[in-house]
Amino acid sequence: MPDSSQVYINTKGKEVNSYDAIVIGSGISGGWAAKELCEKGLKTLVLERGRPVEHIKDYPTANLSRWELPHRGWITNETRQQNPLISKAAGYDESTQHFFVKDADHPYVQEKPFQWVRGYQVGGKSLTWGRACARWSEYDFTAPKRYGYGESFPIEYRDIKDWYSHVEKFIGVCGSYDGIPSMPDGEFLTAYELNAVEKHMQQVLKEKFNRHYVSGRWAHITDPKQIHLDQGRAQCMNRNLCMRGCPLGGYFSSNSSTLPWAAKTGNLTIRPHSVVHSIIYDEQQQKAVGVRVIDANTKESKEYFAKIIFVNASALNTNLILLNSTSNRFPNGLGNDNGLMGKYICFHNYRGSMNGDIDGFTDKYYKVSKPAECIIANFRNVEKRDTDFMGGYVIYSGAYRERLSDKNIKPLLGAAFKEAISEPGTWGVYMYMQGETIAKASNHVRLSKEEKDQWGIPLLITSVGYDENDDKMVKDFLEQGQAMLEAAGVKNINTNDNRQPPGLDIHEMGGVRMGNDPTTSLLNEWNQLHHCKNVLVTDGACMTSTGSQSPSILYMAFTARAVAHAAEELKKGNL
C-alpha cells in the first residue's frame, strides 16, 4: 500500500480510469448524486464497497412467507451470538439480514458504546431505511443559533424548499396537507388514511393540547404518477415487507429509482467491491484529482480520477475516508485545517417509548396494515424556548388491533380455535420519540493509530454519548406522551427509557459540518470543502445540527442542489 501522504498516480491507469465525476457510496445520497450528475451529461463512476444488488433480481426473500424461511424469520442463537450488535438493529431478521453488515466484517473501536448499523451493497441502507420524509422547517435550521446551543446552517429553508419539491416529485412521498409551521407541507401523493383510533387521537390532541396528530410523510407510492411509471415502479401494495427489498418499487430506494435512472443516460459506471482508502490530493493543482480504492476481494490497490468527487459513504465512513486522506498540504485529513473533522458528531434520541390499550371501537378495523406511521409534529422550543432542555422531538405513533381476541386464552381445538382466532382483539396505541441531540466537540470519531482493518485502513474510533440534555428530553416525552394517551382514554400505559447506546437510531450526523466560517466548519453553503472545492459532502456528515425530523430526504435535497452548483462551476472552469 502506498503512503497516503504521497500523490500516487499510475499514468496508464489514469488514462483508462478517468471520469468527469466520482461518487463514493451508492445509498440514498450517493444514488441521488449519480442521477443528477448523469442527467447533466457527466460521465460518473459510483464506487461501492459492498456487493452488487440489482433491483428485483437480488431480493431473495421478497416474496417468501414466513413459514417458507428456515427459521420462520427468527434469528438463530448462533447468528445472534456472532452478531450481538447488528442483531439489535430495527428490521433485522432472517428475511433481511443479507442487507446488513455482520459485526466481524468491518470492525471499529468503541471508546464509548456506539452501535454502528451499516449496509454494504449497491443501494446501501436505502434498501432498509425507515422511509420517513418530513421536511425540516425554518425553525430546525435556525434553532441552534437562536437558542445558543450550536451553529446555524449556512442556508435557510427558503434555499432548500424547491429542492425538497424536486426530490419529492421524483421519489414519491405520500402525506397530508396540514399547514403545520414546524413540519412544512410538500409535494405529496395521497396520504395513508388514519384508522378509527388514530382519528380519535387526532381529535383529542387537537382539542386538548392544540397538537397535530397527522398521517406521516412517507416515501411510498400510494398513487403513481407518470414519473414513477417511467422509473418502472408501481403502487405500494402495503405488504409491509419493505426491508426485504420491494420488487414493485413501491418505496424509494437507490436500486429501484435513482441508479437505474442514471444508468439509462449511458453515463453511469458502478464499481462494487471497492473499499475507498482515501482521496488523492494534487499539491501542484491544489485540488483533489482522484480516489484510491482497495478491491474488497483481491486487496489490490487501484486509482480512479475525476474533476469532481462526491463523498456519500454514510456519515461515519465519510469521516473515516476524509480523515485518512492525508497529504503534505493536509496532514490531518483533507480540508481539515481547523482540526474539527470528526467532531460534533450527533444523532437522534430514540430512547423513549410507550404503549397502552384503549376500550371501544370494537366494531372498527382497518383496510390495510400500512407501512407508514402517524406523526406528532414537534411542539417543543419551536417559536420560543419553553422547556428546561434544548431542541425538540417528534413522536411517531399508531393504533392497531391485536390479532387474537380474549377468547384465545381458552384451550380450544379444531373449528372452535379457528373461529376464535379469526376475531380481532382489543385496540392498542403506541408512541416513540425521535429527539434532537446537541452537536458538541466531545462527541467525535477519530482514526486509530494502532489498529487497521483487513484492507489496511485505520479503524474508526467512536466516542459518542448522551448528555443531561438528552435525559431531560426523554423525561419530557415520557410525561407528555403519557398525558396525551391518558387524555385519549388509553389504559395500562407502559413507558420505557431503553437507554440504548447511540447508533441504533441509524441517524448519525456531523463531523464534516457545513458553515459560513472556515474556522468553525468544513463545508460551505454548497457542500464543498472550504479548502478543496472540488470535493463535496452531501450525506449525514455534512449536518450542522440534527433537527427533530428524519434527515434522509434532506440529504437528497442537499445532493441535488450541490450537483447543480458543481456542474455549473465545472462548466465555468472553476473546479
**Could you tell me which residues come within 8 angstroms of residue 25 by beta carbon, excluding any fewer than 6 positions away?**
46, 47, 48, 124, 311, 312, 313, 314, 317, 318, 539
Q: Is the pLDDT of residue 3 over 70?
A: no
Q: Quote the pLDDT of residue 6.
A: 40
What percentage of residues in the chain have a pLDDT greater than 70?
Answer: 96
SS (H, E, C) 196-217: HHHHHHHHHHHHHHCCCEEECC
pLDDT interval class at 408 (50, 70, 90):
low
Tell me what the mean pLDDT of segment 233-237 comes to.
Answer: 97
Question: Tell me: the pLDDT tens digits for 513-536?
Answer: 999 999 999 999 999 999 999 999
Tell me what the mean pLDDT of segment 346-360 comes to.
Answer: 97
Tell me what the mean pLDDT of segment 359-370 comes to.
Answer: 88
SS (H, E, C) 44-66: EEEECCCECCCCCCCCCCCCCCH
Query: Residue 135 gets which letter from DSSP?
Result: P
Q: Quote the pLDDT of residue 406.
A: 54
Region of residue 9 (left: phi > 0; alpha: psi -120 to 50; beta: else):
beta
Q: Is the pLDDT of residue 403 over 80?
A: no
The residue that leads in pLDDT, 364 or 319, is 319
Contact 462, 112 (CB under 8 A): yes
Question: Tell me: the pLDDT tens digits for 146-165?
Answer: 999 999 899 999 999 999 99
Contact 283, 327 (CB under 8 A): yes
Question: Tell me: the pLDDT tens digits for 97-156?
Answer: 999 999 999 999 999 999 999 999 999 999 999 999 999 999 999 999 999 999 989 999
Of 220, 190, 205, the closest CA to residue 377 belongs to 205
pTM, whole model, 2 decimals? 0.95
Q: Quote the pLDDT of residue 9.
A: 45
* Nearest-angstrom CA–CA distance, 453 and 455: 5
* Nearest-angstrom CA–CA distance, 51 and 119: 10
The residue that leads in pLDDT, 497 or 424, is 497
Contact 91, 243 (CB under 8 A): yes
Q: Quote the pLDDT of residue 294.
A: 97
Q: Quote the pLDDT of residue 410.
A: 64
Of 442, 446, 440, the closest CA to residue 462 belongs to 446
From residue 187, give the alpha-carbon distance in Å to each of 175, 177, 229, 401: 8, 9, 17, 31
Q: Quote the pLDDT of residue 415.
A: 82
Q: Quote the pLDDT of residue 412.
A: 65
Q: Quote the pLDDT of residue 277.
A: 98
Contact 509, 344 (CB under 8 A): no
Question: Tell me: the pLDDT tens digits for 90-100?
Answer: 999 999 999 99
pLDDT interval class at 13 (50, 70, 90):
low
Query: Residue 258 gets which letter from DSSP?
Result: I
Q: Is the pLDDT of residue 437 over 60?
A: yes
Q: Is the pLDDT of residue 227 over 90?
A: yes
Query: Residue 67 gets which letter from DSSP?
Result: G
The residue that leads in pLDDT, 16 or 245, is 245
Question: Tell me: the pLDDT tens digits for 171-224?
Answer: 999 999 999 999 999 999 999 999 999 999 999 999 999 999 999 999 999 999
* Nearest-angstrom CA–CA distance, 222 and 219: 9
Tell me what the mean pLDDT of segment 436-458 comes to.
Answer: 97
Cα-trace Rg, the chain:
24
pLDDT interval class at 270 (50, 70, 90):
very high
* Angle between helices 468-487 and 196-209 in degrees, nearest 10: 110
From residue 398, give the alpha-carbon distance in Å to each of 194, 285, 478, 485: 9, 56, 16, 12
Q: Quote the pLDDT of residue 152.
A: 87
Of 480, 538, 426, the closest CA to residue 208 belongs to 480
Contact 289, 281 (CB under 8 A): yes
Contact 320, 445 (CB under 8 A): yes
Of 574, 534, 570, 573, the closest CA to residue 42 belongs to 570
**96 exposure class (CB count in 10 Å sphere: 0-12, 13-18, 19+):** buried
Question: Tell me: the pLDDT tens digits for 537-573?
Answer: 999 999 999 999 999 999 999 999 999 999 999 999 9
What percentage of residues in the chain have a pLDDT greater than 90?
Answer: 91
Domain extent listing, the chain: 1-49+100-174+251-348+440-465+507-575, 186-215+351-437+466-500
Report helix, strand or coil for 570.
helix
Strand order in the sheet with 458-463: 109-110, 458-463, 444-452, 343-346, 509-511
Of 100, 116, 106, 102, the closest CA to residue 53 belongs to 100
Question: Tell me: the pLDDT tens digits for 464-490?
Answer: 999 999 999 999 999 999 999 999 999
> What's the gap between Cα 330 and its chain centre?
29
* Angle between helices 28-39 and 552-571 in degrees, nearest 10: 30
**Could you tell me which residues come within 8 angstroms of residue 253 by beta carbon, excluding any fewer than 6 positions away?**
31, 55, 123, 126, 127, 129, 245, 246
Q: Give domain 1-49+100-174+251-348+440-465+507-575's CATH number out of 3.30.470.30, 3.90.220.20, 3.40.47.10, 3.50.50.60.
A: 3.50.50.60
Tell me what the mean pLDDT of segment 335-340 comes to.
Answer: 98
